[in-house]
A = this chain, B = another copy of it.
Amino acid sequence: MENKTLPEVTSTARGTRTLSAVTRLRELIVSGVLKPGQRISERSVLEEHQDLSRTPLREALKILASEGLIDLTPNRGAFVTRLSMKHIDSAMEVLIGLESIAAVASCARITAPEMEEIKTLHHQMLVSFQQQDLMSYFQINQQIHQLIVDGAHNEALSRIYRAESLHIRRYRYAGNIEHARWEQAVTEHEQIIEALCRRDGLLLRELLRAHHSKGWDVTRELLATELK
């Protein structure tokens, strides 16, 4: 018998309490509400979220730890992972490498509808740029890169890229990027979309690589002063 339950309308996530706790906490960490290095005691979380008890919370913390978003030391508790500049540089190297893999594969395998979705987002991103809405620009930008990777139709690649992006997202948002670089980045994106449409994988790979290298150089400087 097909006793299909309606999708729940709970505030944050369906399914078990463990899963919804994971979703909520992940959001808090990735968005930066919980700062790198900050302690996450079980008690403090339980006070915030009434409909949660220790067992599912502890299961959630284990999951977040194996995702790399928190450090979990036995008998000492959970702390939001604090990444050194070396870690972030490493992650960026990996991210660029993954996009290099994706570039060639995506040009070979992406479908027309998927490409259309990217183009649509690209136009939305241009609007965000014109309105100088950096936060919105940043979010759409992230989505576009994820979709380019997804176009490779490689489940493992998409999963790893997503996870690794989440790790360093809170470090990549450069709140006060100067207009000049921003404008250049938009231009580069035009070329990126065009290479994708032409399915020129090798060109796309080089464009993405250059795009990220330049962008990261700038963001890196801004971040270096913060981390010091």
CB 8 Å contact bits of A59-95 with B (1 = contact, 0 = none): 1001101111000001000000000001100110110
A158 to chain B, nearest CB (A): 9
List the B residue with the shortest CB-CB distance to A105.
B93
Interchain CA distance A86-B154 in the complex, whole Å:
9
Number of A residues with CB within 8 Å of any CB on chain B: 33
A94 to chain B, nearest CB (A): 5
**B157 x A93 contact (CB < 8 A):** yes
A71 to chain B, nearest CB (A): 14
**B74 x A16 contact (CB < 8 A):** yes
Q: Does A200 contact B (CB under 8 A)?
A: no
A8 to chain B, nearest CB (A): 12
Q: A62-B63, A63-B62, A67-B66 are in contact. Are A157 and B105 (CB under 8 A)?
A: no
**B98 x A18 contact (CB < 8 A):** no
Please indicate the chain B residues that have their CB under 8 angstroms from the CB of A160 in the complex.
Answer: 94, 160, 164
A3 to chain B, nearest CB (A): 13
Please indicate the chain B residues that have their CB under 8 angstroms from the CB of A16 in the complex.
Answer: 74
Interchain CA distance A161-B71 in the complex, whole Å:
20
Interface residues of A in 100-118 (CB under 8 A from B): 100-101, 105
**B155 x A90 contact (CB < 8 A):** yes
List the B residue with the shortest CB-CB distance to A97.
B101
List the B residue with the shortest CB-CB distance to A14.
B74
Interchain CA distance A101-B99 in the complex, whole Å:
11
Q: Does A211 contact B (CB under 8 A)?
A: no
Partner of A90, one of B63, B87, B100, B157: B157
A176 to chain B, nearest CB (A): 27
From A66, A94, A159, A160, name the one whose CB has the most chain B CB atoms within 10 angstroms: A94
Please indicate the chain B residues that have their CB under 8 angstroms from the CB of A10 in the complex.
Answer: none
List the B residue with the shortest CB-CB distance to A154.
B90
Please indicate the chain B residues that have their CB under 8 angstroms from the CB of A156 in the complex.
Answer: 87, 90-91, 93-94, 164, 167
Q: A55-B55, A97-B97, A97-B101 are in contact. Are A62 and B18 (CB under 8 A)?
A: yes
